[in-house]
Amino acid sequence: MSPDAQELIDFDEQDEHDERGTGASRGWLIVLMVLVGAVLTLVLGVWSALSFEKASRLDDWAGQSMVVSGTYQTLTNDLVTKDYNGIYAGVMPKNDLVTKYPFDNQLNDPAKKAEGDQITFRGTQTGMQDSDFPHDVDALLAPQDGHLTVVETGAPGSFGKDGVTDSMVTGQRLRAGALAVAALACVGLTVWGVRRVHRGVRPGV
């Protein structure tokens, strides 16, 4: 075999080896892209579902709720699980709901309250020790079964200043929709990226 022929064979073998190496690296890139895309899509999808669920809850209280700020005092047994709820202290604000309904703090029997009264109430967050509970919360109060009671507690500002409004519900739904669109876009970008990389793996491309 002539030196030129041997050199050509060696060149072809090296080229084939390089092509296999490139194909393998692109194959791993495809796997990585699919994994990252799947994780991002799942996260965005879960956030969207939770946002839609929150919007549905808020819609039940729109125009019929009020906010009380509370400071952590201690904890107490949860009414359903084996965890604990925080007990918070606050001041009853001025609101028509206060005059219409007795206040049920989920700790004692319902009692009539007035603007400026010191109150305590059970938070909705659960935990096992004092450090699990935020020091300050906003409690959303709404009528339920003829009583004014805490339906949800969250970070200060979570429910606006005067309770849930229609615009707040609309904003929550828009956020949920935007997250759903982002999840679909993530799927589309993942498919597009995988196809682009896959084309590069094919011989002669």
Q: How confident is the model at residue 164 (pLDDT cuts 50, 70, 90)?
A: confident
Residue 159 lies in a domain: yes
> Which of 134, 132, 133, 137 shows the shortest CA–CA distance to 120?
137
Same domain, yes or no: 58 and 81: no
Non-local CB neighbours of 146 within 8 Å, separated by 6+ positions: 101, 102
Given a cut of 60, whether residue 204 has pLDDT beyond it is no
Residue 18 lies in a domain: no
Residue 13 lies in a domain: no
Residue 3 lies in a domain: no
Same domain, yes or no: 145 and 82: yes
Q: Which amino acid is at 115?
A: E
Same domain, yes or no: 143 and 174: no
Distance of CA 80 to the CA centre of its chain: 23
Q: pLDDT tens for residues 108-152?
A: 999 999 999 999 999 999 999 999 999 999 999 999 989 999 999
Residue 24 lies in a domain: no
> Which of 121, 120, 119, 130 shows the shortest CA–CA distance to 84?
130
**pLDDT score of 34:** 87
In whole angstroms, how large is the CA radius of gyration of the chain? Answer: 30
Find tokens 């597009």 and name the residue.
192
**pLDDT score of 203:** 41
Same domain, yes or no: 175 and 143: no
Residue 16 lies in a domain: no
Same domain, yes or no: 91 and 112: yes
Given a cut of 50, whether residue 94 has pLDDT beyond it is yes
Give the domain extent around 118: 64-163
**pLDDT score of 200:** 64
Q: How is residue 26 written in tokens?
A: 């692109």
Q: pLDDT tens for residues 33-73?
A: 889 989 999 999 999 999 898 888 888 888 889 999 999 99
Same domain, yes or no: 51 and 70: no
Same domain, yes or no: 106 and 131: yes
Q: How is residue 78 written in tokens?
A: 């949860």
Q: How is residue 12 written in tokens?
A: 């072809």
